[in-house]
Structure 1
Amino acid sequence: MRLSPARCFAMLLLCFSATLFASDRKYTVTSADGVVLAVQESGAPQGQPIIFIHGLLGSHLNWEKQRQDPALQRFRLISFDLRGHGLSAKPTQTEAYRQGRRWAEDVAAVITASHAKKPLLVGWSLGGAVISHYLARFGDKSLSGALYVDAVVELTPAQIPAHAQVYAAMTSADLATHLDGERDFLRLCFYQQPDAVTFARLQASAAMASWEMQRAVPLMQVALENGLGKATIPVQFIYGKHDQLVNPQASLARARNVNPRISAVWFANSGHAPFLEEPARFNQQLADFADSLR
């Protein structure tokens, strides 16, 4: 059977697309201290790599609106569940979470195992602190840029608004109190609350997080001056103007105090999670920033 030129071209295009856009990959990597981390990939295997780092009580599910956006499929989209979260291992020792180098080594393990060349790191909330720990431990020579999203710059009262009852409930030994605290924390993440299905999934994911991790993280010292302060790669901060979990103005001011080159973008209709509250704009901003790093 002889194929027409148009049919041949269509078949070639199909084969090219199948090669360029692989199906989702899921695998595990082992960090320096033996903690096993769950990793997920989608998008173009040969595309510019973007590594997403979620926040406290999150998981890779936080990035679904990025992973599912057709406009971002030209990038290699890599996410992983932080230690103590999601499908990753959950050590019971406090030091596994208090020492910033361990979080840094998790990122390094993902970069090494995925063979991601010059990735852009995107860190949300606690994920921003994780980026700073990585920069302090490994420098920025293996990165193309860093995007901090409503990031924790330092764990200080000036930068972290007080929600004493919520945080106390989250670490309560009473299960009902604990779960109610997780729910209330999630509510504080949003200025535009997500739909019921999305919120239920996020709440279930939050319930999987390690209690030991939740107790230890507030005691962590963020490596700011030696991390973010010494970064020479492009760094951008995104903040929702209605953030209730991080003080955006104080946090950005402190970050710029150690690194004046930081650029900033404000999302007027978002709280702590602009990638979920204003995903179309966030994804365009992400793509523009990634393209500027080429």
Structure 2
Amino acid sequence: MSQPLYYRTLVPLLLTLVLLASSTLARAEQHHYTVKAPDGVTLAVQETGNPAGSPIIFIHGLLGSRLNWAQQLDDPALQRHRLITYDLRGHGLSGKPTQASAYTEGRRWADDLAVIIEALGVDRPVLVGWSLGGAVITNYLAAYGDNTIAGAVYVDGVVELKPDQITPHPEVYRDMISPDLQTHLDGERTFLGLCFYHQPERPIFARLLANAALASWTMQRAVMSLTIPAADGLSNTTVPLLFIYGAHDALIKPEPAIARARTLNPRIESRIYNDSGHAPFLEESDHFNRDLNDFIDRINSA
């Protein structure tokens, strides 16, 4: 006797939902580590995705944490890769040194990235750096060269801390390092608002504020003097470099930043996202994830 119609349609649907749920849980599995930097700073590291896939290391920006990359870590297409994130020194669950030199010396940020690559046995990753994360990549390239990486993506990345490339917001940065708690927190909220052309949903913005509250005050005072050896880092790099900027970035000037990078390395590929501010990986995450996947596929097929 044939089964009722509702039974023949409901059971396959339930099975499909179970399989989808199982797949989502598998993708969401995360592994957490701590790694010690050469100067003793403890770095909080996380990875997910396919451990046998092409590795990607995501490097967040100022006041952020590895949680910034949720739209990438949860993307089914990107899950075929080995996805590694970490909290920069002075941020999130990583150590927060109290001396300014721990943040002004760019080599220390480079060493952090290098020790993570070594400790996790990462073979030729693609580096993806947002804002300050771009400066970390440049310091890494200057200190270690590009022999250990497959390519790099700068996402509204800082090329140099120079007035022709950085939009001035002196009152915001002043408030962010204020000793008065309310002024300090209000300054951080204003800074985060400037990151977006389209403001994120409330839960996401609340998480960004929580990230900011965890960030070291010493780091925020010192990082504006971070050394970025752009000429040494970019000029000698031969692996593929992709620079992505939001057209409405209120913190970095896209065209001057790209132009400066191209004077140092004419091979740089660039893209402008017309509907984004400083955070295209959040504001146009589907577009960004496709471009990142395509970039990695091109590298792997070369």
Q: Is the structural similarity TM-score above 0.5?
A: yes
Matched-pair identity in %: 59
1:56 aligned to 55, 62, 65, which one? 62
2:77 aligned to 71, 82, 94, which one? 71
Letter in 2 for 1:143: I
Following the alignment from structure 2 to structure 1, what is the Cα–Cα distance between the partners of residues 299 and 123?
Answer: 13
Unaligned runs of 5+ in 2: 1-18
Letter in 2 for 1:291: D
Following the alignment from structure 2 to structure 1, what is the Cα–Cα distance between the partners of residues 27 and 185?
Answer: 39
What are the equivalent positions in structure 2 for 1:134-145 lying under 5 Å apart?
134-145=140-151
2:44 aligned to 38, 41, 44, which one? 38
Following the alignment from structure 2 to structure 1, what is the Cα–Cα distance between the partners of residues 116 and 237?
Answer: 20
Q: Residue 230 of structure 1: CA displacement?
A: 1.1
Higher Cα Rg: structure 1 or 2? Answer: 2
TM-score (normalizing by structure 2):
0.90
Pairs aligned (count)? 278
Deviations 1:211-245 (A, max 9, x none): 11011111122111111121110001000000000
CA contact (8 A) 1:22 1:45 kept: no
1:291 and 2:294 are equivalent in the alignment: no
Letter in 1 for 2:177: T
Q: Residue 21 of structure 1: CA displacement?
A: 6.0
1:274 and 2:272 are equivalent in the alignment: no
Unaligned runs of 5+ in 1: 1-12
Deviations 1:239-292 (A, max 9, x none): 000000001011000000100000001100000000000000100000000111
1:223 and 2:199 are equivalent in the alignment: no
Deviations 1:138-178 (A, max 9, x none): 00000000100000000011111110110000000000000
- In structure 2, the residue matched to 1:242 is 248
CA contact (8 A) 1:21 1:45 kept: no
CA contact (8 A) 1:57 1:205 kept: yes
Moved over 3 A (4+): none
1:100 and 2:106 are equivalent in the alignment: yes
CA contact (8 A) 2:28 2:74 kept: no
CA contact (8 A) 1:147 1:237 kept: yes
Q: Residue 22 of structure 1: CA displacement?
A: 8.3
- In structure 1, the residue matched to 2:14 is none
1:146 and 2:149 are equivalent in the alignment: no
Following the alignment from structure 1 to structure 2, what is the Cα–Cα distance between the partners of residues 220 and 75?
Answer: 31
- The CA RMSD over aligned residues, in Å, is 1.4
Following the alignment from structure 2 to structure 1, what is the Cα–Cα distance between the partners of residues 234 and 92?
Answer: 27
Deviations 1:100-142 (A, max 9, x none): 1000000001101111100000000000000000000000000
Letter in 2 for 1:36: T
2:89 aligned to 80, 83, 88, which one? 83
TM-score (normalizing by structure 1):
0.93
CA contact (8 A) 2:135 2:159 kept: yes
- In structure 2, the residue matched to 1:158 is 164
CA contact (8 A) 1:239 1:265 kept: yes
